[in-house]
Amino acid sequence: MDSRETKKKYQDEMRLLQIELIRLQKWIQDQQLRLAIIFEGRDTAGKGGAIYRFTRYLNPRAMRVVALPKPTEVEKGQWYFQRYIKELPNPGEIVFFDRSWYNRAVVEPVMGFCTQDQYELFLKQAPVFEQMLLEDGMILIKFWFSINITEQKVRIEDRIKNPLKMWKLSTVDLKAQQMWDEFTNYKNQMFLHTHKPGSPWVIVKGDNKPVARLEAMRYVLAQMEYPEKKDAGVSFESNSEIIRLFDPSMI
């Protein structure tokens, strides 16, 4: 299959999945459900691009993208989860978290933005916090977009050189390569402490961005039983080479 055929196949499948997402959103609105989807992962792994494809044709009145800046001085003195609680979905709404409370599990300890005590408290409280959300009826999906170190280097260099992408560049990006092992160690601890039956970590291999986007969409749709799903013209069977639940044997 040549590049044009590959692109056409991607575009066709993307369109079908986006149609299903519109149907899913309508069902969530009708049923007054609450869906929160977390997008975490290494820098440049494709979180933002995936969120854009998820949300491109959704009704903006019934969905939000949340990408919080660094906490204010007041927020630093609050309970850590407090500023995220107010961003959680309302009835009939989908919220996409472009990074989330899991900043404290990986980025903050690696970069020295939190203390060891704060980090350990987070690992203890996060599963309890999420269990409370689940018990209250919220639907929670947690994605981790992975990427290999060579591909990350290419993408970081592209951000540095491309004036259209320079806004994405951060201090964390610039240190991502030299602190690769530190990020890996904290990521693994996060999985071990917060991968739970009701809120598992879904690992998405992000080296191929188009394929990763399709598989993430497919996974979300596969979890939901909305009425029009039976009429879908697209497969909901995941590619296990690209997306799978975390397993301790992966570490």
Whole-angstrom Cα Rg for the chain: 18
197 to 41, 127, 131, 176: CA distances (angstroms): 20, 10, 10, 30
Reference 106, options 25, 33, 40, 199; nearest CA is 40
| Domain at 3-250: CATH code | 3.40.50.300
Euclidean distance between CA atoms 8 and 184, whole angstroms: 36
pTM here?
0.95
User: Is beta strand 201-205 parallel, antiparallel or unpaired with respect to 139-146?
Assistant: parallel
pLDDT in tens, the chain (251 residues): 568 888 999 999 999 999 999 999 999 999 999 999 999 999 999 999 999 999 999 999 999 999 999 999 999 999 999 999 999 999 999 999 999 999 999 999 999 999 999 999 999 999 999 999 999 999 999 999 999 999 999 998 998 888 888 888 877 877 888 899 999 999 999 999 999 999 999 999 999 999 999 999 999 999 999 999 988 999 999 999 999 999 999 88
Euclidean distance between CA atoms 197 and 101, whole angstroms: 19
Euclidean distance between CA atoms 98 and 128, whole angstroms: 22
Report pLDDT for 160.
87
E strands, the chain, where?
34-41, 63-66, 93-98, 139-146, 201-205, 243-245
